[in-house]
Structure formats: C-alpha cells, structure tokens
Amino acid sequence: MTTENIGEIVISPRVLEVITGIAATKVEGVHSLHNKTVTDGLSKATLSKGVYLQTEEDGTVNTDIYVYLQYGVSVPEVAMAIQKAVKAAVYEMADVVVSAVNIHVQGIVAEKTAKPDMKSLFDEDFLDD
C-alpha cells in the first residue's frame, strides 16, 4: 500500500495544550492544574491553565505542567503517571512526540476540597458533550 501526500497537516499548539491538560487531570491523585504565575490567569494570550509547551527544532515538544495533588498520594508515583499519560495521549491523538514532560507540584489540596469539573479546565465548547 502506498501513501499519497496530498497536503500538509498542521496541529495547533492549543490542541496539544488541551490534550495534555485533559490527560493530566484524568490521572488519579491530580486535583487540578494551576497557572505558573498570577498574570497567566489574567492574560488573554495565555489560555493554557497550567500547561506550557515548547517546540524543539527537531519537531518534538517539551511540556511543563503545574499541578495541585490530592492529599495522601505518592507525589513521585502521580508525577510519573502524569508523564506517561501525557506522552501516550499526545502521541496517540496527534502523532506528536513529547520529549519531556516536566511536572511542577504547586501544592497539596486537603481531602475535603471539591475537585473542579472538566469544563473549568479550558472553558471549551466541545466539553459540553
């Protein structure tokens, strides 16, 4: 079977941010994502909600994820699970290789704190389904 090249496929970094954010928040032990700085939450240019991507010259992507974890979890185990989940999700959905997933644990959340819903993660219309 031959593959015919009939055009170019371009995936927006915003799509990769959403895939990364959803994959990270679905990991058991993750409470929520958190912006790197307070001004990121106020800026209209930064919509990433705790996910920051950098594309390398070789086409791979590095990502930094800022998270709050639930009380009582093993921080290294949850961080490694996030790394694996993000690398797998981005590769499976976008065929993009993530070379590094850097996890920044911003804090631990008390047991009684309600977990935010998925819609508040990126405020996207497609999450209404």
Per-residue pLDDT of 48-79, as tens digits, reads 588 999 988 887 899 999 999 999 999 999 99
CB 25 within 8 A of CB 32: yes
Per-residue pLDDT of 7-26, as tens digits, reads 888 888 889 999 999 999 99
Q: When comparing pLDDT for 12 and 120, which is higher?
A: 12
> What pLDDT is stored for residue 43 in this prediction?
43
**DSSP string over the chain:** ------S-----HHHHHHHHHHHHHTSTTEEEE--SSHHHHH-SS---SSEEEEE-TTS-EEEEEEEEEETTS-HHHHHHHHHHHHHHHHHHHH---EEEEEEEEEEEE-TTSPPPPTHHHH--GGGG-
Per-residue pLDDT of 36-48, as tens digits, reads 755 444 444 444 5
Residues 13-110: name the CATH superfamily.
Answer: Cation efflux protein, cytoplasmic domain (3.30.70.1350)
The residues spanned by each domain of the chain are: 13-110
CB 42 within 8 A of CB 75: no
> What pLDDT is stored for residue 100 in this prediction?
95
> What pLDDT is stored for residue 85 in this prediction?
97
